[in-house]
Structure 1
Amino acid sequence: MIELIIPQRRRDLGAFEVGRVLPYAKRRMVGPYVFFDRMGPKDIAPGLPREADVRPHPHIGLSTITYLYKGEITHRDSLGIEQAIRPGEVNWMTAGRGITHSERFERLRSEGGPFDGLQLWVALPEEREEIDPGFWHYPSEVLPAFDGDGIAGRMIAGRLAGVESPVQVDSPQFYVHWQLRAGARASLPPEYSERAVYIASGRVEADGRAVESGNMVVFAPGKAVTIAALTDAEVMALGGEPVGTRYVDWNFVSSSKERIDQARADWAAGRMKLPDLDSGEFIPLPPKLGEAPEPMS
């Protein structure tokens, strides 16, 4: 049964558009997933300006997952790691008690080409919010892949239907990339209490309703769900178990409002900045949002 359909909200960043899906006013999280952004699609000409890069910025209390369909991004962080990500690979960064990172479009700047991908944030369980930061890169060949009955794809993170990704997660969850040929049917089992699918391209039918690309379908718990491809389609399935109320302010996620206030103060005072990270061109701290960050659960 469909609980909610969430349309992506497009924002023009100049070089390309981003489609924000989560958080949404009527549904702030799906399982531990607190943020879902579609980057692109966009054909980028050589000479992309430096302003298109995501300058160094901080995070606490979450992990980021970057997964591309097309193009390439270069990740750099305050742990000293520099890593390019290409289609089908996974960059997993855990902020924990605090990390600073940037994302650069070095190859697209020099060569141009198509760009399309996703970035998600996963809220860490309360007992792991202050763990040491870390970064892991997973090439596509280590991710479980499947191809049969009109369905191809990868298990990106977590576990679903007995298939488990080597990507290390901190709470029960799943994140899957399905490529469906027209007429194919994929089943989403009821093993997690919160589940959703995002239609990246094409058109599908879920619970008797046609769903166009750019929409996320959130399902009620308790029953298996069948996704039928009305055309060739790219579908991302995700979900898991909730981790409790979270506060989100700018790039900070925490179960504690006071912890977010501390992170804001640390960034403003320069305690999370490293001068050798991308020449110190850091994103400034935005104004505080009201009296307190908005709770999400």
Structure 2
Amino acid sequence: MSFFPGEDPAIGDKKAVDLIETLIIPRTSDVGGLEVRRALPTAKRRLVGPFIFFDRMGPAILRAGDALDVQPHPHIGLSTVTYLFDGHIKHRDSLGTEMVISPGDVNLMTAGRGIVHSERSPEELRGPPLSISGVQTWLALPEHLEDMKPDFAHTTKADLPEMRDKDFSGRLIMGGLHGLKSPVHQYSDTLYADIRIEAGGRFHIPAVAEERAIYILDGSVNIAGDVFGSNQLLAFREGDDIIVNAAPGANGGSAHIMLFGGASLNSKRYIWWNFVSSSKERIEQAKEEWRTGKFDIVPGDEEEFVPLPE
């Protein structure tokens, strides 16, 4: 996805929960014909661990004849992580990768010194109405890897560790949690999980990562007596054990959350459009390279591109 600068998401009315450091209400925007809720970055909170960008895509039904069409655009200094709950997206990039991502799979595209990619509805699925729902995040790379060689990796749903208990079920996307370890490669300490808490159930988030947050996809959760509804991001204080309880209400009392975070990068990151770097000069260089056609093209998707924003 592309990051189009605009108004920051709103910071919600924080209740008296000492465990919660930041509460963010995302803003809604349109990207490639799809409604997304953008929770990171904000003026109040730029990163949670290496996560510098958090987009909730959908859930939506694209009308008959419509499709997702994010034209070729560039990235530097980050990894994109695409994870779907419903629908399919065809990824193409300047490495020559062509991959359709299905629900539960993980696409990890590492831009490093520079990559170009497009995200579109697969040709064979176009015509009828299309459902789409998922999350796309960006991970800022450590400084010494910001100009690494670009890379792409795909991990299928079947290869992700499952978490299952009477109170919850889910998949570990990145990192380690509750004795499980994901096979998805990390460039810094990263934690990422998809968790569904049953009605009346709870999920324990141990202090396994320096920075941790949840995004509430559906339902409501109760944390230390305060209730938070869907489409809110809650960032927690370092070092505290967190118990997330499914709260009565929507979804029959169950809740669906994304848990994410990791080690602090301990250095500032700048973000402009689709470029992330510890150096403002490197971002200016990337802008000029895209403006003058210095980035590689996407094989099979050479006719269109997203122009550099004014």
TM-score by length of 1: 0.92
Count matched residues: 285
Quickly say closer, same or farther: Cα 1:276–1:14, change in 2 above 3 A.
Answer: closer
CA contact (8 A) 1:2 1:207 kept: no
1:206 matches 2:184 = no
CA contact (8 A) 1:72 1:84 kept: yes
CA contact (8 A) 2:93 2:299 kept: no
CA contact (8 A) 2:96 2:299 kept: no
**Unpaired runs of at least 5, structure 1:** 288-297
CA contact (8 A) 1:8 1:19 kept: yes
Further displaced range: 69-78 or 184-193: 184-193
Question: Shift of the alpha carbon at 1:277?
Answer: 4.5
Equivalent residue letter for 2:167: G
1:237 matches 2:259 = yes
Equivalent residue letter for 1:185: R
CA contact (8 A) 1:77 1:277 kept: no
CA contact (8 A) 1:246 1:255 kept: yes
* In 1, Cα distance between equivalents of 2:32 and 2:309: 20
**Residues 80-123 of structure 1 deviation map (CA, whole Å, 9 limit, x = unaligned):** 01000011110000000110000001255234332100100000
Quickly say closer, same or farther: Cα 1:223–1:246, change in 2 above 3 A.
Answer: same
Give 1:148-227 correspondences, 5 Å limit.
148-227=165-244
Report the equivalent of 1:36: 54
Question: What's the C-alpha RMSD, in Å, of the aligned pairs?
Answer: 1.4
**Residues 148-184 of structure 1 deviation map (CA, whole Å, 9 limit, x = unaligned):** 1221110011222332110000001100000111111
What SS is found at the alignment partner of 1:261?
A: helix
Quickly say closer, same or farther: Cα 1:33–1:13, change in 2 above 3 A.
Answer: closer
CA contact (8 A) 1:180 1:232 kept: yes
1:260 matches 2:283 = yes
1:79 matches 2:102 = no
Further displaced range: 14-23 or 94-103: 14-23
Report the equivalent of 1:283: 306
* In 1, Cα distance between equivalents of 2:99 and 2:72: 15
* In 1, Cα distance between equivalents of 2:87 and 2:117: 19
Question: Shift of the alpha carbon at 1:44?
Answer: 2.1
* In 2, Cα distance between equivalents of 1:275 and 1:33: 26
* In 2, Cα distance between equivalents of 1:43 and 1:276: 29
Quickly say closer, same or farther: Cα 1:256–1:152, change in 2 above 3 A.
Answer: same
What SS is found at the alignment partner of 1:280?
A: coil
* In 2, Cα distance between equivalents of 1:13 and 1:99: 19
Report the equivalent of 1:291: none
What SS is found at the alignment partner of 1:258?
A: helix
Quickly say closer, same or farther: Cα 1:151–1:192, change in 2 above 3 A.
Answer: same
CA contact (8 A) 1:204 1:233 kept: yes
Question: Shift of the alpha carbon at 1:241?
Answer: 0.7
TM-score by length of 2: 0.89
1:3 matches 2:21 = yes
* In 2, Cα distance between equivalents of 1:258 and 1:41: 38
* In 2, Cα distance between equivalents of 1:188 and 1:170: 22
1:20 matches 2:35 = no
